[in-house]
Amino acid sequence: MNEDTTFQTFRDAFTKAGMQSIIDAGEAPQWDKAQKIVDEYRIVYVRDNKAGYLGSSTEIPTISVEGKTLEQCSEFTRQALIFAVVGMLESGQTPPSPQCVVTTKNP
């Protein structure tokens, strides 16, 4: 699956869900807010012998994305999460809050 195919898959899913305004990256009013929310999400990557890497977040575990390289998987996962959060914001839902707390000291 290449980047164009992945984006087309997201585009098709959002079009079928009736969220046409979301598919034009950057044009949705909530796009910047969604990017900031996703920047705080914890994303987990797992090496996969077939796909390369699988990516998911602890906040929205139902989204699972694959990529041939870690960099590709990271970008695809982030894009999928942003699309999902924009969809939530556009439909009046509250996206999950970041669950990860990072500390430099042991509790």
Q: CATH classification of 3-90 is 3.30.160, yes or no?
A: yes
Domain spans of the chain? Answer: 3-90
Q: Is the pLDDT of residue 24 over 70?
A: no
Confidence class for position 12, pLDDT limits 50, 70, 90: low
pLDDT digits (tens, 9 = 90+) for 63-77: 999 999 999 999 999
pLDDT, mean over the chain: 79
Q: What is the 3-state secondary structure (H, E, C) of 31-64?
A: HHHHHHHHHCCCEEEEEECCCEEEEEECCCCCCE
pLDDT digits (tens, 9 = 90+) for 34-66: 999 999 999 999 999 998 999 999 999 999 999
Q: What is the pLDDT of residue 91?
A: 87
Q: Could you give the percent of the chain with pLDDT greater than 70?
A: 66
